Amino acid sequence: MVGATGFEPATPCSQSRCASRLRHAPILLEYSFAQNERNAENLRVDPLSLAKRLLEAGPICDPCLGRRFALLPGGLPNAERGALLRQALGFGPTLPERCWVCGGAFARVPFWAEKAAELAQGYEFRTFLFGVHLSPRLEATEEFLAEKFPSPWAEPLRRHLNRALGQAFEEVLRARGRTATVDYARPDLQFLVDIEKDKVELRVNPVVFYGRYRKLARGLAQTTWTCPHCRGRGCEVCGGTGKLAATSVEELVLPVFLEATGGTGGHLHGAGREDADARMLGRGRPFLLTVESPRRRAIDLAWVAEEVRRRSGGAVELLDLQPATPELEEKVKAGKFAKRYRARVAFSAPVEPEAFAQAVGSLVGEVRQRTPERVRHRRADLVRRRRVLSAQGRLLSPTEAELELTCESGLYVKELVSGDQGGTEPSLAGLLGVPAQVTELDVLDILDDAGVVPPEPAD
């Protein structure tokens, strides 16, 4: 066993007070390759002399010997470079299991790769990534190497093990007639090898789909609308259901995706949201549908769209379904898009056509809007500045009108009409001097193709 200050015999009990200080030595931070290269000239290390010292220190496997010189020119794999150094210096082979540096970790790589392949059975994937959790002994050994055998060309043990595991895993897959590649950014599967426990864990990363939904019926929330009074337990306010809306777009869409992918759960994230009593028409609202732990990733999205339409009775339609790219995810999560609305308005007293036309025209421009009373329990109480980009309207009768508005993201249309007891200025009711309420609201379009509209600062 390698001790914190040198070599020493293994202690009889690693948990006792007399256990090697190596077990509790500080964790080594990985080398910086760039820093090593900058220090190479100052260190003036002779590779053969360093290799000889490592070989004389104790049994060391070819990968661990070679990785101390990984940045030397030649492009050789670490194991091959280590074997050449061993041969050049006249040292015989060493059993990998006896390596004092890795403790036989590289000898276990094929076993761990096989274990990972077994865990991956039943999952559809094209990309993967390995990670390793080093034991305290290995962390301390890396620190000991850096102190006693400094090398400007060294590669960290964790990095070499990750690469070796990935290569071994690809070989196992090929033997089973499958292929997959490493993906450092968005792998389908992630494996964590715990060296101390000799255990491999699998994490199945979510699959995300992009699309646009049309909500053609009123009374549907976007996502599950849990009752805030009982938090889903059921009370008088929600009629014992635990929800303030009978169902939602998410509840109608997610089960179909789970059936198609074999996933265990998921959620819907929309680019903004409309009220439960508003319809979403036109091209639909962009959304992301995330499925957790999917067994299948390449699914028939046309079937999904048709099945959602059928099961919802035509209340929900899905358009433009596709696997989500990072760009689409960013668009939906960060985008602030202008919207076009159609609102049916009721007045408490007759309105003259000329006054109505003048009031509608006056809505265009900046609107100062305090967080509406109806949502103040879940949103910050602020005064926001938003713009009405265009406004048109027509009187259907002296007490009823229809408006078409284009507004910046974050503007509350119902309060633009009612005034919300002075919380929104200007408002249609305030300009007319007649109380007004929105009786029906439709979102006609999400103007995401026109680009992002930056939000105005709140007062």
Residues contacting residue 53 through CB under 8 Å, at least 6 positions apart = 149
Which sign, positive or negative, has the C-alpha torsion 28, 32, 36, 39? negative
- Residue 269: how many other CB atoms lie within 10 Å: 17
From 183, 194, 275, 277, active-site residue: 275
Let me know if 300 is a catalytic residue: no
- Backbone torsions φ then ψ of 72, nearest 5 degrees: -70, 150
- Residue 377: how many other CB atoms lie within 10 Å: 9
What radius of gyration, in Å, describes the C-alpha atoms of the chain?
Answer: 33
Contact 416, 365 (CB under 8 A): no
The 3-state DSSP class for residue 244 equals coil
Residues contacting residue 126 through CB under 8 Å, at least 6 positions apart = 180, 181, 188, 297
CA 144-149-154 angle, to 5 degrees, is 95
- Across 293-331, the runs of DSSP E, i.e. the strands, are 316-323
Residues contacting residue 119 through CB under 8 Å, at least 6 positions apart = 191, 200, 202
Contact 406, 339 (CB under 8 A): yes
Catalytic residues: 275
